[in-house]
Amino acid sequence: MPRRRIVCVFIASLLLPVLSVRADPLQDGIAAVQRKDYPQAVRLLEPLARDGNALAQLRLGLLYYHGHGVRESDAQALQWFERAARQGLADAQFHLGNMYAYGLVTLSGDDDPARLAAQWYFEAARQGHADAQYSLGILFLTGSGVVQDPAEATRWIERAAARGHTDAAAYLKGR
């Protein structure tokens, strides 16, 4: 009996390092982006994005937006940003808001891109996303997509500045 236990412990000790070294395709995909190996990043991130991983969807959207490892495509970027944004990922909501704010989305009917930008910025801003807070504040200043409201603009810009947003801080200092 003790001999069998020793053999099992020995085998387990040999297998433990092999079992503990698991590949993490998401982290590997992000690392590939960081080292600018974009084709590898796409290969790693795309299956995860298709399976619903919001962070992989965001990263894949950014690759399409910038044309890194894939043909640049605002339509594909929009698709991936929207999938991640609908899962509540603040960075994706911010990027989606940018696509509407900068006219990178073809809309049908009477949809107002500035209103859609404001909606997505708000979703990210309420989660504490400083860039979205600042962008939403600017929309309130100009009345673009929202009712113009300087007091509301200031509240959002102050929130962004409190999170270290340099443009927001500069705006507040210069008023």
Which single residue is written with the structure tokens 């790693």?
44
Reduced 3-state DSSP string for 50-85: HCCCHHHHHHHHHHHHHCCCCCCCHHHHHHHHHHHH
> Both tokens of residue 3?
């001999």
The CATH architecture one would assign to domain 90-103+112-175 is Alpha Horseshoe (1.25)
pLDDT values of the chain reduced to their tens digit, one per residue, 175 residues: 565 555 444 455 555 554 444 579 999 999 999 999 999 999 999 999 999 999 999 999 999 999 999 999 999 999 999 999 999 999 999 999 999 999 999 898 889 999 999 999 999 999 999 999 999 999 999 999 999 999 999 999 999 999 999 999 999 998 8
Measured at the CA of 76, the angle between CA 73 and CA 80, to 5 degrees, comes to 140
SS3 102: coil
User: What is the value of pTM for the model shown?
Assistant: 0.85
Whether residue 9 contacts residue 16, with contact meaning beta carbons closer than 8 Å, is answered with no
